[in-house]
Structure formats: structure tokens, C-alpha cells
Structure 1
Amino acid sequence: MRDVELADSGRRVVVIAVERGEEAVAAVNEVARRRGIRAAEVTAVGGFQDAEVGYFDREAREYVPIPVSEQVEVLSLVGDIAEVDGEPALHVHAVLGRRDGSTVGGHLRRGEVWPTLEVVVTEVAAALAKRVDPETGVALLTGTART
């Protein structure tokens, strides 16, 4: 993976090129930790040769895995990075395009990149925190900045 930090109107922007064979979620989390990014918006395009998205089952309070065991294009990947238990954590949803033009989407759990994934991380605040909501079991933004 390669990454570069830019400045845009006083905000940090990090562009990450996740390379063939790398796992996307781990790669973005690694860059966020290394660069001290605690709150950001994330977008990306590229491709996966194998992936797993998830659908949140509200009764079970867990993500139901949806395996995607084929080459797909990352048509849209959007979400955020926020602090969970003191560490930056990526939370993104993906729409993946199949060869026949159909799509599959959900919460990105993992994605093995092929040939590349171009990720733009734009810092939005010094730090935002998430905590697990006892009612839903989901890590949600607390609404308060942490410094």
C-alpha cells in the first residue's frame, strides 16, 4: 500500500492506493493509526477479487455475512473513520458490481484487492468517538468531540 497526505483548506486528506492482494479494511485502518486519523469521511473505487459484505440483522444484533467470491468492481464505497475504544475504526458500506451488471452491497467486512483500491480519507474533526449502543449493539457516533 502507498499513501500520501495532502492539505485541503486546512483539512488533512490522505490518498491511499491499496495494492493487489492486500486486505482493504486492514490497510485503511493501518494508515489511519499511523497517521493519527481519528475522524474522517472515506470514499473509494477499485476492485476486489474476493470480499465479504454484511447485512445487519437487527433482531440478532449482528452482521449476517454475504460472501462475494468473484472478481467485482467497487462501484461505490462510502463511510467514515471514528474512534472506537481509543483506536480509529473504519466503517464503510460498499456497492460491488458483478460481471453481469448486477450488484451486491452492504457493510464491508473485508475485501481482497485486485487490481487496486483508490481510497480518499478526508479528516472532518480532531476526534469523534463511537460507542456501542446497548439497544442496537452497533457502535454509533456519540455526538461529542474528544480531544
Structure 2
Amino acid sequence: MQVKRIKEGGADGGQRVFAVVFQTGDDPIAGLKAVARDEGLAASSLTAIGAFRRGVLGFFDFDRKDYHRIPVEEQCEVVSLIGNVTAGPDGPGLHLHAVLGRRDGQAVAGHLLEAEVHPTLEVMLTESPAHLVRRKDAETGLPLLAPSDPEAPDPKAAS
């Protein structure tokens, strides 16, 4: 993985922008968490394109309160990868959605749960000016974005 800061933030609250390039065999989820931790990113958005040797996507099943896993055990194009990075109690958290294109032109989409890059994944990571956090939602068990006051009590938790 290679990381290059391509835009500096400023005292005026300007956004830092990073190009993150993954190579064959890299785990993009672990790599993005490492970049966020190393660069002190509390809130960021990202877009990416490239290719995976394999991946696992997920579709959230509300009844089970867990992800239905969708394995893609073949070389595939990363047609679109978008998401965000937020602060969490255990360090940076990622929320990533991907569309993967198969050899026959069919696409599969969902939350990116696992992936192995082959041959590259090109990520543009843009720092957001505001600090964003996630809180565990009492109803779903999911860590949901809390863009307002992160210290305010969760109204669903009181129910």
C-alpha cells in the first residue's frame, strides 16, 4: 500500500486529501483503517476503483441482525467503492459499499466485508471538516452515524 497526501489541510479547516494505492494481495479494509489511524482521520469520505481477486459483500438481514454474506470468489472489477471513515470506540470505523463487476458483465453489490486486491485499488480519501462518530443503534445493533451531538443519549436506548 502506498499513501500520498495530495492536498494539505489548513488552519482555516481545509480538507486533506490522500491517494491510497493498494497492490496485489493487500487487504483494503485493514489498510484504510491503518491510514485513518496513522493520519488521525476522525471523519472522511472515500471513493475507489480497481479490481479484487476475491471479496465478500454483505446484505443486512434485519430479522437476524447480521449480514447475509455474498462471496465473490473470482477476479472482479471494483466498479464502484464508496464509503466513509468515522471515529469509534475501538479506533477508526469504515462503512463501505461496493459494486463488483463479474467477468460476464453481471454486477453484485453490498457492504464490503472482506477483499483481496488484484492487481490494484485506487482510493481517494477526503477528510471531512467535522468530527463524525458512530453509536450502536439499540434496535438493529448497527453502529449508525451520529452527525449531531455524539454525546447526546440515544433516544432509542431509553425505550
Percentage of identical aligned residues:
43
Deviation at 1:6, TM superposition (A): 2.3
Deviation at 1:89, TM superposition (A): 1.2
2:96 aligned with 1:92, yes or no? yes
Deviations 1:45-102 (A, max 9, x none): 0000011000100111111111110000000001100112151111110000000000
Match of 1:7 in 2: 7
Separation of aligned partners in 2, 1:137 and 1:120: 29
Match of 1:74 in 2: 78
SS state at 2:112 partner:
strand
Separation of aligned partners in 1, 2:90 and 2:132: 10
* Equivalent residues in 2 for 1:45-60, closer than 5 Å: 45-60=49-64
More moved, 122-131 vs 74-83: 122-131
Amino acid in structure 2 at the alignment position of 1:102: Q
Amino acid in structure 1 at the alignment position of 2:100: L
- Which one of 125, 129, 134 corresponds to residue 129 of structure 2? 125
The alignment's C-alpha RMSD in Å is: 1.4
SS state at 2:63 partner:
coil
Separation of aligned partners in 2, 1:128 and 1:107: 20
SS state at 1:18 partner:
strand
Separation of aligned partners in 1, 2:58 and 2:143: 15
Equivalent residues, number: 146
Separation of aligned partners in 1, 2:8 and 2:31: 23
- Which one of 46, 52, 67 corresponds to residue 63 of structure 1? 67
Unaligned stretches of 5+ residues in structure 1: none
**TM, length-normalised to structure 1:** 0.94
- Which one of 98, 101, 106 corresponds to residue 102 of structure 1? 106
Q: Quick check: 1:44–1:120 contact (8 Å CA) kept in 2?
A: yes
SS state at 2:92 partner:
strand
Match of 2:155 in 1: none
Deviations 1:81-137 (A, max 9, x none): 011215111111000000000011100001100000001111112421101101111
**TM, length-normalised to structure 2:** 0.87
Kindly indicate which of the two structures has a greater share of residues assigned to strand: 1
Separation of aligned partners in 2, 1:8 and 1:63: 37
